Amino acid sequence: MKGFFLHLPVLLQEVMEYLKLAPGDTVLDATLGGGGHAAQCLKKIGSKGKLIAIDRDPEAIENAKESLSEFNSRIVWVNDNFRNVGDILRIAGVDKVNGAIFDLGVSSHQIDEAERGFSFLKDGPLDMRFSNCQDVSACGVVNDFSKDELAEIIREYGEERHASLVAGGIIRARAKKRIETTKELTEVILAAVGRKYRKVRLHPAARTFQALRIYVNDELESAEVGVRETLGFLAARARICVISFHSLEDRIIKNLFRNAAREEKLKIITKKPITPGRDEIRANSRARSAKLRCAERV
């Protein structure tokens, strides 16, 4: 562990209001991160409650064990991918949960650590893995995949309209030298499409970095599998809150909820996604793109 880190949980007040937790409840936090949502859940469920805390990042688990040490006896710590939530809950002896939270995407801590390779604004190894136990890194994708494969990943997961130009730039650059750092990749992207973004506030590398991160960590399929599995463990009238940060995630959650509602398994609580207010965005700019959806087990 590299030291204690703080985390501003997104839409915290709204999540807690929608979950409607009570003393003695069992809660699933499938994306523990900095433990901000977990801390509030633990206060709500009291001394007889239980929290199942999952995170793929072992650093997040170790950090939360320190920051949430006063609640340790009430927490089941799990360093795993939340797509395995069914097995995780069964092993923990939990057949029903009274609430569930998914805060999707990359955490502020992961972005801020240059050595994790998530940020195009910080120079570090081109990694982007949530866990170093994963085989595929962004470096491997960038240097070993074909132009067509790269373009498809960048187009599909980054919604980058200039995906072919970015992929072509990568191919040309790596023919001269292997691309091994975030700075090197950012420079390649700027050279390939920087001029296309002159009148756009978004950084030219943002969509490509998002695409690589999503692909490396299999985020979209993991979110779909994890949330769908969790729906089957919700107790009657238990609620699930999912926070997403881009349209691809949000679309998956919206469709999952809608399909379950058609089957009369869920009642959708948020007809439209809840977004942060101005004060929260001012305090935490990374909350700007967050969307919260909530549903209740029928």
- Per-position DSSP letters for 253-269, written without gaps between them: HHHHHHHHHHTTSEEES
Is residue 4, in this structure, part of any structural domain at all? no
End position of a domain, from candidates 167, 202, 217: 217
Asked if residue 41 lies in contact with residue 75, where contact means CB atoms within 8 angstroms, the answer is no
Whether 3 is in a domain gets the answer no
* Average predicted confidence (pLDDT) for the chain: 94
- The predicted-structure confidence for 138-182, as pLDDT tens digits, reads as follows 999 999 999 999 999 999 999 999 999 999 999 999 999 999 999
Confidence band for 107, pLDDT divided at 50, 70 and 90: confident
End-of-domain residue from the set 193, 217, 241: 217
Q: Is 234 helix (H, G, I), strand (E, B) or coil?
A: strand
pTM: 0.92
Longest pairwise C-alpha distance within the chain: 61
Q: Which pLDDT value is given to residue 7?
A: 60
Q: Give CA–CA dist 72/61, Å, rounded.
A: 12
Domain check: are 100 and 231 in the same one?
yes
Q: Domain for residue 104, yes or no? A: yes
Residue 1: predicted pLDDT: 41
Q: What is the pLDDT of residues 257-285, one digit of tens each?
A: 999 999 999 999 999 999 999 999 999 88
Q: For residue 111, what pLDDT is reported?
A: 78
Residues 140, 99 share a domain: no
What φ, ψ does residue 55 adopt, rounded to 5°?
-155, 140
261 located within any domain: yes
Within-domain flag for 37: yes
Is the pLDDT reported for residue 2 higher than 50?
no
Running DSSP on this structure, what letter comes out for residue 167?
H
Q: Do 120 and 203 fall into the same domain?
A: yes
- Answer for the pair 204, 197: CB distance below 8 angstroms, yes or no: yes
Q: Is the pLDDT of residue 195 over 80?
A: yes
Q: Sorting pLDDT into bands at 50, 70 and 90, what band is 296? A: very high
- b/e map 122-157, b = 16+ CB within 10 Å: bebebbbbbeeeeeebbbebbbebeeeebbbbbbeb
Arithmetic mean of pLDDT, 3-25 = 86
More confident residue, 286 or 190: 190
What is the pLDDT at residue 222?
97
Tell me, yes or no, whether 84 and 179 share the same domain. no
**What residue type is 222 in one-letter code?**
S
So what's the pLDDT on residue 152? 98
163 and 186 part of one domain? yes
The reported pLDDT for the residue numbered 272 is 96
Note whether 104 and 226 are same-domain residues.
yes
Confidence of residue 204 (pLDDT cuts 50, 70, 90): very high
Number of structural domains, the chain? 2
Per the domain annotation, does 1 fall within a domain? no
* pLDDT bucket at 4, cuts 50 / 70 / 90: very low
Same domain, 104 and 124: no
pLDDT of residue 73: 94
C-alpha atoms less than 13 angstroms from C-alpha of 8 in its C-beta half-sphere: 14
| Full residue range of the structural domain in which residue 87 is found | 12-109+219-297
Q: Which of 20, 86, 82 is nearest to 236 (CA)?
A: 20
Distance between first and last Cα of the chain: 42
Amino acid at 96: K
Span 92-120, average pLDDT: 88
Nearest to 32 by CA among 64, 5, 76, 6: 64
pLDDT at 3: 46
Task: Assign residue 176 the CATH number of its domain.
Answer: 1.10.150.170
Which residue, 202, 217, 232, sits at the end of a domain?
Answer: 217
> Looking at the structure, do residues 205 and 252 belong to the same domain, yes or no?
no
